[in-house]
Structure 1
Amino acid sequence: LQQSSVMTSLDNMLSRGSVRALNNGEDYQNPVLKVLGHRKVPGGGQDRYRLLVTDGIDQHSYVMLGTQLNYLIEGDQLPPGTVLQVTKYVLNNMKSDKPILIVISLDILGSGSVPDPANSDANGTGAPAAQQQQQPVKPLADNNRPAAFAAVQETPPRPTASSYSSGAGGRGGGGGQQLGFVPQTPPHSGRSFGGGSSDQSAGSGIDTSRVRPISSLNPYQNKWTICGRVTQKSQVRTWSNSRGEGKLFSFVLTDDSSEIRVTAFRDEVDKYFDLVELGRAMYISRGQLKAANKQFNNTQNEYEMVLSSESQLQQCDDADAAAVPEMKFNFVPIAQLDTVEPNKFVDVCGVVHETHDVQTIVGKTSNREIAKRDLTLVDSSGCSVRCTLWGDEAVKFNGEKKPVVAVKGAKVSDFGGRSLSSTTNSCFLINPSMPEADRLRGWYHMEGQQMQFDTFRGDGGAGGGPGGGSAVYRNLKDCKAGGFGTGDKFEYFSCLACIIHMKRETCLYQACPKPDCNKKVIEFNGEYRCEKCQSSYPNFTWRFLLQANLADHTDNQWVTCFQDTAEKLLGVTAQQLGQMRSDGDDKGQTGVFEKALFQHHLFTMRAKMENFQDEMRLRVVVQDVKQMNFAEAGRLLVSQIEAMAV
C-alpha cells in the first residue's frame, strides 16, 4: 500500500502537457517526465541512447540522452517507470518534423508505474493519469511498442541507488541529486583531424569519454578532451624576422564553464584552418597548454593552447552541436569604460549613433594601406564612445539604419580618454539576436535617438573639456613644450581655439570616385587615372585636405583637417566647394572661408613629432570638431585657476 502511494504521488508530479509544448517547439521549464523505455542509437563513435517518455498524457520518442549521462543507462539507473525532472535541455528540430529533445542534465525523482502500451492510441497518447495508476506495472513488450521505438531493449525496473536522492526516503524521498555537468556532443562522423591522417574515423579520433570543462584545464594534465563552440577566429597572419618566417591563426573555443584561445602555427595552419569554422562546435584533444599572454589574449582564461602535430580536432554534428552554448558576452556599459585600463579588452553592446566615412591610413609596421572607419556607439547609460573598425570590416559596414552592434573583445584605448578598437581577435556582430540588443533597440527608438550623450567617458578622457567633449585639455603652448609627441604613438588632446588662417588654394583635391579609395587622380586624355586602383574613370570626386592655423590665448599651431572635420569647420561639403571652384565662383568661396574664420571650437587632435627634410616637426591632425559650450569653458578656466592656487 505504501509503495502504491509513492507511485501515485510520483505520477501526480508529471508535467502534463509538457510533451505537447515541447513538440510545438515551446520552452518548458524543468518538465517532470516518466521513462517508458530506451534503446541504443546505431552509429559510429560513442554510444548514444534514445528515450521514450511520457508526461502522463502524451508520449515523446524524440528524446536523446546527452553522452555525459550514458552511465545512467549503462548502470541500469533509468529503468522503465523512472520519474525524472529535466533540469537542462536543448530543443533541436534539424532532423525531423518533431523537435529533438537533447537532455543535458536531470534529477531522478523515483519510480512510478508503467502504463500498459496496449491501452495507448495509435498517435502515442497514453491513458489518462488516473487510469495509468490503476494499471499493473510491467515492462513494455516489443510487439506492443510504438513503431518509432520497436528496438528498445528490455530493462527490468530496479531500485535506484540512494546516492541519487537528496531525501532519506530513497527513490521516493523527494528531490534528487542533479546529474550531468557540461554539454557534450557526439563526434562528427566525417571530418576528423588528429595526429595521424586527416580522414580518421570519429571512433578512432578523439576519446570523448574524457570530455571535461574548459575551466578545469591546466598544464599538468595530458589526457583530456574539451568540447566548445568557436566564438572567434582570426585570419591567417604571416611573419618574417631574423629567426625565419611562418604563419599562424588563432580562435577561441567556448563552453558553459569558460573559454580558451587556441593558436596554430606553420604546418598546423594548413591542417586546421578550414576545419575550424566560426560558430561551429568542436572537440579538441592533445593541445599544449601554457600561461596566457594577456597582451594578445582577450579571454578570461589564465591559460591558452597551442596546437601541435599530435593535436586532434573534430567537428560535432549539426544536431547535437545545439547542446553547446552560443557565444558568451560580459557587457560593460559605455559609462563605465573609464574604469577599464587602456589596452584591456571588453565586450560592448551599443547602437550606432553616427557612422563616419572610411579613411585610408598606412600601417606603421607593414607599410600597407589599411581602411578604417569610426563609429559612435551609444547605450542607455547616456554616454557615447568611438569604436574603430579596420580592413574589410570597415569597408563593408553600413550604418545607415543605425543598427545595434555587439563587440566581443574590443580593445580599450586612452585616445581622447577612452575609445574602442576592433582587433583581429574581436568578434563584431550586427543586430545580434540577444536580450541586450533587443532592449537597446527599443530604448533607442523610444528615447535614445533624441538624447544628448555625454562623452566624458567616451570620446574624451579624464580631463573634461568645454563643448560636451572630455579629452585631456591642453593649450597650444603646452603642445610645443619639449617632449610632447616624441613617443612611438600619437598623443591625443583637446584644445579650445579659433581658426586664424586657412590655405584656400590647396584645400581640395580630385580623388578617385571609387567608394573608400580617396586617392588623388591624374587627368589624362579626358579621363582620371587612379594609380592605386589601376583604373581610369570619366569623373572624379572632390575631397578636403585643409591646412589651417589655430590660435588660443597662448600660441598658434598649423593643423591638418581631413574630409569630415573640414566639412564641419567650413559648413559646406567638398563637392559644394569644388563646384564653386569649377564655376569660378570666387565670391562664394571667399564667403565660405571668411565665415569660418575666428570661430571658437573645441578641437580634438592627435600630435606626433615627424622628420621632414631632416627637421623634426610637430604634426597635428584634427580628429573631431565640436561647438563650444561657453558655460563649460568658463568652469574649466575656473578649475585651472584653482589648481594653480598655492
Structure 2
Amino acid sequence: MARLTPNGVAAALAGDTNLKPVVQIVELRGVNVNGVGATRGERFRAVVSDGATTSPALFAAQLGDHARSGLLRRSSIVQLIEYVINDVRARRLIVILNLEVLVPECEIIGNPIILPETGFPNPNPTRVEQFNGAPQYGLMSGNSSNTTTRPTDNISMFQHSIAGNSNFATRPSDRTPAIQPTVQPSYRPEPNYKNHGTIMKNEAPARIIPISALNPYQGRWAIKARVTAKGDIRRYHNAKGDGKVFSFDLLDCDGGEIRVTCFNALLDRFYEVVEVGKVYVVSRGNLRPAQKTYNHLNNEWEILLENGSTVDLCPDEDSSIPTQRFDFRPISEIEDAQNNAILDIIGVVTSVNPCTTIQRKNGMETQKRTMNLKDMSGRSVELTMWGDFCNREGSQLQEMVERGFFPVLAVKAGKVSDFSGKSVGTISSSQLFINPDSDEARRLRQWFDGGGRDASTQSISRDFTPAASRNEVRKTVAQIKDEGLGMGDKPDWVTVKASVIFFKNESFCYTSCPNMIGDRQCSKKVTKGITGNWTCDRCNKEFEECDYRYLLQLQIQDHSGTTWVTAFQEAGQELLGCSARELNALKEREDPRFADTMLACLFQDYLLRLKIKEESYGDERRVKNTVVKVDKVDPSGESKFLLDLISRSSALH
C-alpha cells in the first residue's frame, strides 16, 4: 500500500519545493522539445495526481530512461525528490528533476480533476469529495455549497490531514505492503552566490539546479560550474554585417557539461571575466539545441547569453566540482571511429617529430607537429598538433622524449581523420594534459614502465618518419596480389620498401583549375579554349593562367616482383623534389634538367605508403595502388624495424 500525499499537487504548485509529495502518474507520453526528435534525446511529459487534483509535469532528460525501460508508466506511484516550478503560458508546470518509483503499476486512485489554467485549486469549489471519511481538497464536480481551503491553507493542512488520509494503491493482482516514502534532504543552493546587479522588485536570486536539469521551459535558473575550456574570439560576416563570438564549456559537480556562447557586446562583457579552471554561477540565458557540428559535449542544449544574463565568480573554490571530465577511448577503437568524430584519448608519447611550417590551401601559414601515442590496446596512433599547440605543449613533449622520459598525454576533444589510415588532430577546443593526475594515467605509466615500453604495437596511422616504421604494416609487392589486398569494402594501407624503375614522363602532370572554393583549390582538369583562356566546367569560369598538378604513373620493384602505382600532387613533390609547374616549365624549354630530375629518383630505395583499393574502369574492375607518402630509406630506422621483426618471429617459435 502506498499513500498519496493529500494536497500534494497544490502544495507543490504553490512553490513549496521542500515537500517530497507522493503522487500518481495518470498520463505519460513522449514529446519533441522545440522540434528536437529522438535522435537528440526524447523528453517525456506527464500529468501527476494526488488523488484529487492534477498538474502537468515535465521529466528532466536524465529520467527519460525510466520511461523508455518501462519502470515509469501510466498509473505508477512515485515520490518527487527534486523538482522546480515553472510558469508556462499563464499556467504552472512541475519540472521533475529526481524521483523514486514506489509502485510501478496500480489502479488509478480517486477521481483526479485537472486544475484551472493558473495551476492552483479553485478557492471556491462547488463540491468537496470524501473518500473513506478523509476530506479531499481540490476542484470537484457537483453543486454542493461546501467550501475548501485556499492554497496557502492547503500547505499547512497537509501536516494535519496526512495521518487520516486513506488514499492507497493496490496492484491489479494483489495488495502490496505499506511503502514509506524516503525522506531525503532537499537540494539547496550554495550560500556564496550573490547577484551583484540590480535585483528587480519581488525577485530573488534564481535557485541553483544541476546542468542536466536545464530545459527550455524554465523561466529563471542558475547553474554553478567550472570552466573547463575557453575558445578564441572568432570573427564572421553575414547578411547582418560583421560580428564576433566566443564560447566556453562548463562542468558541474554532477558531471553535467554544457557550452555557453556570447556574441558581440556580450563578448566584450564576459570574455575577460571567464577564466579556465574557475567556478562561476551563470544565470538567465537562452537554451537552444546544441549545434553538434561544432559542439562535441554530451548535452542536447547549449546556452546563449543575453543582456540580462549574469556570470558571477565564486570566491571560494568548490572541490566537489572536478577540473575536467574525460571519456577516454582505447586507441584500438579509433580504427572504427567515423571521420571527424570528436573523442578523448590517453596514451604514452613514444616519439615526437620536429615542428614544421606548412601553407594551407587558403594561402595562410600554420605550425604543424606530429607525434605517436601507444596504449595497452596494442595499437599506436599519430597525433597531429596545429598552431599554438606545437610550440607550447609540443616543445615540452619533444624535450621530455629527447631526455629519455616518455610522458603520458591525455587529449580532450581530439578530431579523428581517416586520411591515410586513422589519426587524431587538435582543434580550437582541444586540450592537452601532460602526465595528468588520474587513475588512467597511473595505470598507463605502470604498464609502460613494467614492460609496455618494449611491447610490439601496430600503428593505425600513416608514418611520417622512418623512426616510426617499426609500427607500420609492411608488405612486399607480391603480397599485395597474393593476399588480395584492396578487394574489401575499405581500402588497405600498407608500406612497401621498393625502388622506382620506370616513369611515364610524357604525361606526368595535368592542367588544373586555380580557383579557390573557400579554403580549398578546385584542382579539376581545365582545357584551353579558342579564346586562349583555360575553362573549368566545374566552376564554369575562364582563367588566363592554369595550375599544374602531378599525376605520375610509376613502376616499382622489390625482391618479390614489380607493380604499377600512381602518385598525385604531394607524393609527386616528395619524390621529385620540385613542383609540377616547375618541372613542366623545364620540359617546355627542353631544359636538360628535366631529364636529370626524372632520372635522379630511379633505382633509389624508398618507403612507399600505399592506399590499395579496387576501382571500376568502365566494365572492368581492377586494383589501384596510390602512393600517399614517400620517405627515403633511413639505415638506422630500417635496422630497428628488422631487429624488431626478428625478435617477434623468435618469440613465436
Q: Which of the five TM-score ranges fits, normalised by the shorter chain?
A: 0.3 to 0.5
TM value normalised by structure 2:
0.46
